[in-house]
Every structure is written in C-alpha cells, then in structure tokens.
Amino acid sequence: MLTVKNLNKSFGENKVLQGIDLQVNKGEVVAVIGPSGSGKTTMLRCISFLEKADEGELDFVCSEGEPDERKETYDMHHASSHEIRQLRSHMGFVFQSFNLFRNKTAIGNVTEGLTVGRRMDKALARKKAEECLARVGLSERADYYPDELSGGQQQRVAIARALALEPDIILLDEPTSALDPELTGEVLDTILKLAKEGTTMLVVTHEMGFAREAADRIIFIEGGVVVEEGTPEQIFDSPKEERTREFLSGMTR
C-alpha cells in the first residue's frame, strides 16, 4: 500500500533522515521504534507532506478506483499541492498533542473534516461521527468539549476523527507521549482494537509492550537510518544488530 524509497531530510547541517526505505502493506501494523531524536516524527511528517523532504519517492496504492489507476508515485520534494491533497485524502494522522478544536465538542471535532473537507451532509456526517466515537468507546462523551475530557479521551477523539475520513492508512505519532501513565492504557487498547480489525497503521511509539503485541513488523531507527526491521519476535527476542540489543536493553531496565 505504502512504499517509501530513499527518504532524506536535513535541517541546516543536521541530517535527520538518511536514505530511509520502508513499506506498509494493506491491513498491516508497522511500529517504528528508536531513541529520541532519531528522526521518527520527521519521517511521519515527510510521509504526510507536513514537512517537505529533500529527496525521496513515495508509492501509494489506494483502495478505490480501477486496479490500474490505484497506484500513484509522488516525488517527495517536488509534489504539487494537488498531489499532496490527493494523497492526504487517503491518510489519517493522529498527533502527539491531540490538535482538537477547543471550541467544538467531541462530535464537532469529528464532523468538521467531513462537512468542511469532504462536503458531507451534516446529518450524514453526524451519523458517521457517532459511529466512530462508538468505535473508540466515547459515545457518552459526544457532546463534551475537550476541556471536559481527560487526555486519553481527547486522544481517542483524535483517533475517531481520523477514522471518520475512512483513510487507507493511519499514521500515529507517539499517540501516548502527552498522556499521564494511567491514561496511556485506554489509548493503546483502542489502537490495539483497531489493529485487530485490520486497520492499516504506521505507528511511532515508545511503548515496547504495545509494539510487541500490536505490530506485524517493527522498524528500529537511529540516526536517521533504518538499523533493523523484522517481526516482533525477531526484534525483541533475537535482534541481529548490537545497537538494537542495546536500545531494547535500556528500554526494559
């Protein structure tokens, strides 16, 4: 579904991403792990064109249209605004810090992208939003404002907002990093439920237990390069690279 080739990104003299290659298949959950500052968030932002890559190619196969029309190739440095809008219509993005509209209720946050971005009828948008809030366990909080919700509930609203657009893939950037430890579990449980439903996801996470349980594949990144990738069993139980072993050892102390 999603293939990235030779992704490079620098900020001034700082080379953040250096020739990243990755692939996410339909129905697959890929977890990206690595130390802080390794380029994980920048990689997601480049894939969604929130940051312009210096170099790279992105192949994307959407679920709609004729088979020979579903695959599109994007130059990650020179993609046009039209191409970026086209790609984003098939992607959902869940941010670290929720990014909810503070003056809208939970259901208002979910319907906004449907009525404004997709021009959907308001009644139909509300029905869709109610369904997505139910999927993340927040039916009873539909009319609550963000300030009336816990951090975990706000993040679940953000996930519902992404789901409402029926994307082919959801990108999640450290979805629990802004939460208190006691609220982390409810968000991880929600994402795990989506994974079991076959939702295609690319997740940057520091939650090793979640990565082991939810992911089909793990990618370990350090210094802007892919050090190692494999199944959770391969990465956690018998990593090939010494640096992977060191990182995981430090995470479990």
Backbone angles phi, psi at 119, to 5 degrees: 55, 35
Give the mean pLDDT of 161-184: 93
Sequence-distant (≥ 6) Cβ neighbours of residue 12 within 8 angstroms: none
CB 189 within 8 A of CB 17: no
Give the start-end residues of each E strand in the chain. Answer: 2-11, 14-24, 29-33, 55-61, 71-75, 91-94, 169-173, 201-204, 217-222, 225-230
H helix or E strand, kind and range, residue 63: none
Number of C-beta neighbours around residue 204 at 10 A: 23
CB 138 within 8 A of CB 106: yes
CB 95 within 8 A of CB 158: yes
The pLDDT value recorded for residue 230 is: 98
**Signed CA dihedral, 253, 222, 20, 156: sign only:** positive
Instruction: Answer yes or no: is pLDDT of 253 > 80.
Output: no
The CA distances from residue 201 to 90, 113, 214, in Å, are: 12, 20, 10
The pLDDT value recorded for residue 37 is: 93
The pLDDT value recorded for residue 204 is: 97
Instruction: Answer yes or no: is pLDDT of 63 > 90.
Output: no
The pLDDT value recorded for residue 232 is: 97
The pLDDT confidence band at residue 176, using thresholds 50, 70 and 90, is very high
d(CA 43, CA 84): 16
3-state secondary structure of 194: helix
The pLDDT value recorded for residue 65 is: 62
Instruction: Answer yes or no: is pLDDT of 96 > 60.
Output: yes
d(CA 229, CA 226): 7
Give the mean pLDDT of 1-12: 97
Number of C-beta neighbours around residue 25 at 10 A: 13
The pLDDT value recorded for residue 66 is: 54
d(CA 250, CA 239): 14
Give the mean pLDDT of 170-181: 93
Highest-confidence range of 41-45, 67-71, 180-184, by mean pLDDT?
Answer: 41-45
Percent of the chain with pLDDT over 90: 91
The CA distances from residue 99 to 30, 48, 170, 171, 181, in Å, are: 23, 16, 16, 14, 20
The pLDDT confidence band at residue 181, using thresholds 50, 70 and 90, is confident
CA triple 233-235-239, angle to 5 deg = 115
Order the strands of the 225-230 sheet from edge to edge. 91-94, 169-173, 201-204, 29-33, 217-222, 225-230
Instruction: Answer yes or no: is pLDDT of 68 > 60.
Output: no
